[in-house]
Amino acid sequence: MFGTMIRQIQYGAQMLRGGRLAVSGLQGTVADLRATIEEFGEPGEEAAVMLPGGTEPDPQIQRTMADRRLKLTVRHAAAHVPYYRHLFAELGLNPQDISLDTLALLPPTPKSALRAASSAFVSVRSEPVLLAQTTGTTGIPTSVWFSQYELELAAALSAMSFLMGSALRSRHIVLSTISSRATLAKLTVQRALAMVGAGFIAMGTVDPRIIIDRLATPMRLPGKEPQVTHLIVTASALGGLVQTAERDGWDPADFGLWQILVGGEVLSDPLRSRAEEVFGAQVTDTYSMTETMPTAGLACEEGHLHLSAEQAHIEVLDPLTHTPAGPGETGTLVVTPYTQYRDTTLLLRYDTGDLVRRLPGTEPPTCSLRGMPATSRILGRNTNGPAELTQRAVLDRLQGERRLPLPTRYAVSPGPDGPRLYVVADRPSAALLAHVEKRCADLPLSGVVLLEDPDELPEPCRVRADLTEHSFELPSPRHQPVRSAR
């Protein structure tokens, strides 16, 4: 009790000062939290205050804290990161002049710059120990170096979030289908779950039939639930799972799933409903990316995306003008992770390219996560198409049509009369086309074309489910098993 109190006072002081956090103290707090849960079944009444957004902070205090953390981050980056040292010199900016009010003087950092030279963003005072490459679908991976401090910190924060946000306990078993090459996600989740005491199965992005089978497999383990309770999956891979489970007639009673944590891609409402229906588990939409780790977002019950303001400065900027988007307007998420959490690859005003819509009006949200800044959920990637034709808008319409295969593959291409939607279907027919056209009637499209072959799409539609890893678990068609003669 006394040790816990001292650690919490230390943590509070470190948060106020804005300097590095004592990882051992956080790990101790995770152990305390776990011991508390094991003794009492749940954390104390006011445990939520320990999570980002757990309280409704005074806006003035929040702004003062953000200003202090931002100044520290900008000064550190300008002094020790080659890219920003050069940028400040080129722009003739004095890092001391940059604050919350003058941040707009600094241009956003495009993703292309990080992709082109990731080492230019590594602080010369850091000790990089892990290169994490994104598994994005744009072809060129983004490389981000991390230090031991960052990895341990991210794991401890994730463990706290798992324990309090997701109510994960040591009796649970988590299965991850995230690609085995998504090093950071795998490493952080594994370390965090070890702190929680939960079981972890890293399956990788293998054939959906293998994953579904593993979800249904009973495991007789001491102190654990009999089947996998939590699934971590990307939205497109979830699509593959849903399709396989629906097609092969699996029943929710076959599984012991409690929660499906989806991230990495746009999760449409119809896909969420279908997943909840076939797996009998709650589906939670999350947002995170390697570059802005440990900043993470969570979708609330009212459909907002809430991002933690304690770990990064978050802006929503017009994709073209880079000026702040107004209420109800669409913009890209621009994130500046604070040096308190990041000391190796430092990014100032990093343009994620992920579109969101600012909430309309000035009234703050009233949802359970109202203490955290909110936007709409991710709408998709920033493209040159019409603003209404976001990935979310298209997927919300297509994934409600059960005759279309999952994961959904489509492309929007300019036509003589306007954008045209090309959709991959297993068995294109006039009836199916009519259905799809009806669903998409409110989108600014000049027409819909159904295709049987994904290769016929005017531009490739890559999804994370395509990162399929081989497995010998499924028998080769050439070696079909035979029953021996009796």
Contacting residues toward other proteins, per CB under 8 A = 1-5, 8, 29, 32-33, 35-36, 38-41, 43-50, 169, 171, 209, 212-218, 220, 223-227, 248, 250-251, 253-254, 256, 474-475, 480-484
* Dist. CA 275–CA 281, nearest whole Å: 8
The DSSP string of 176-193 is E-S-TT-HHHHHHHHHHH
* Dist. CA 307–CA 154, nearest whole Å: 15
Distances (CA, A) of 444 to 284, 414, 423: 30, 11, 16
Q: Which is nearer to other proteins, 254 or 343 (CB)?
A: 254
The least distance separating other proteins from the CB of residue 240, rounded to whole angstroms, comes to 15
DSSP 8-class letter at 258: -
Q: Which is nearer to other proteins, 98 or 173 (CB)?
A: 173
Beta bridge partners of 259: 230, 282
Half-sphere exposure of 315 (CA within 13 A, CB side): 25
Convert 89-111 to b/e letters by CB count within 10 Å (16 or more is b).
Answer: eeeebebeebeeeebeebebbeb
The least distance separating other proteins from the CB of residue 463, rounded to whole angstroms, comes to 23
The least distance separating other proteins from the CB of residue 171, rounded to whole angstroms, comes to 5
Which residue in 12, 14, 48, 13 sits closest to 33, CA to CA? 48
Q: Which is nearer to other proteins, 155 or 215 (CB)?
A: 215
Count CB neighbours of 159 within 10 A.
Answer: 28
* Dist. CA 341–CA 73, nearest whole Å: 10
The least distance separating other proteins from the CB of residue 454, rounded to whole angstroms, comes to 22
**Tokens encoding 43:** 């954390």
Q: Which is nearer to other proteins, 45 or 417 (CB)?
A: 45
Q: Which is nearer to other proteins, 29 or 382 (CB)?
A: 29
Q: Which is nearer to other proteins, 50 or 334 (CB)?
A: 50
Q: Which is nearer to other proteins, 3 or 107 (CB)?
A: 3
CB 404 within 8 A of CB 425: yes
The least distance separating other proteins from the CB of residue 272, rounded to whole angstroms, comes to 23
Which strands, in side-by-side order, build the sheet including 410-415?
A: 410-415, 418-424, 447-451
The least distance separating other proteins from the CB of residue 407, rounded to whole angstroms, comes to 19
The least distance separating other proteins from the CB of residue 373, rounded to whole angstroms, comes to 23
The least distance separating other proteins from the CB of residue 66, rounded to whole angstroms, comes to 24
The least distance separating other proteins from the CB of residue 210, rounded to whole angstroms, comes to 8
**Tokens encoding 169:** 């306990």
Local structure of 244: helix, strand or coil: helix
Q: Which is nearer to other proteins, 321 or 479 (CB)?
A: 479
Query: What angle do helix axes 183-196 and 23-40 make, rounded to 10 degrees?
Result: 50
Residue type present at position 240? G
CB 99 within 8 A of CB 72: no
Q: Which is nearer to other proteins, 430 or 482 (CB)?
A: 482
Q: Which is nearer to other proteins, 229 or 336 (CB)?
A: 229
The least distance separating other proteins from the CB of residue 309, rounded to whole angstroms, comes to 21
Local structure of 284: helix, strand or coil: strand
For 150, counting Cβ atoms within 10 Å of its Cβ (0-12 exposed, 13-18 middle, 19+ buried), the class is buried
